[in-house]
Amino acid sequence: MYPDTTPQTAPTGAELSEVQAEAEARRIIADAYRPTAYRDDTPVPAHGTTPPVAQPGRPPMSQGATDASVLMLAGGTTTAMVGGTAAVLMYVSQFADPVVCGLVFGAPTALVLALGRLAKKARPAPDVHHHYEGPVHQDQRHVQSKTTGVWAKTNNQQ
């Protein structure tokens, strides 16, 4: 039917012995299954001139920004849960008073906000440590500034 299209190998002049043929077959198979990529397992230096690469997930930001974003996410989730619960309660009861529901579900939120402000004001003052070498003169003054009036006038008093 169809002509034979298999490639023909040129005769080498000498036939391979069975041992040489097996060795050649092993070499061809080994070449076929050789890895095509190389992994360098040498340790990467801890610092260098290469800039850091942003990883998948949250974008890189300062610790304060990370804390604030987590706080905002938690606050938004809490607000959605409280509002959803109030909406379900009013829908199911068919006669719940929205003002009463607002007071019941808003009181814990107001309490949490008040406790948060109280905790923020109750933080201890940070410890300040100075380490100097050589002659140093420190002048620590407390200056009270008061700006009043439509045209600002500042009075600094020590």
Segment 86-130, tens digit of pLDDT: 788 888 888 777 787 777 777 877 888 888 888 887 777 788 888
d(CA 21, CA 15): 9
Domain that holds residue 96: 64-121
Read off the DSSP letter of residue 153.
E
Would you say residue 75 lies in a domain? yes
> What Cα–Cα distance (Å) separates residue 59 from each residue in 63, 77, 112, 149, 154?
12, 20, 29, 45, 43
Residue 120, burial from CB neighbour count under 10 angstroms (0-12, 13-18, 19+): exposed
Would you say residue 69 lies in a domain? yes
Would you say residue 116 lies in a domain? yes
What is the structure's pLDDT at 158?
Answer: 65
Would you say residue 51 lies in a domain? no
Would you say residue 105 lies in a domain? yes
Between 116 and 77, the higher pLDDT residue: 77
Counted domains in the chain:
1
Would you say residue 72 lies in a domain? yes
Residue 7, burial from CB neighbour count under 10 angstroms (0-12, 13-18, 19+): exposed
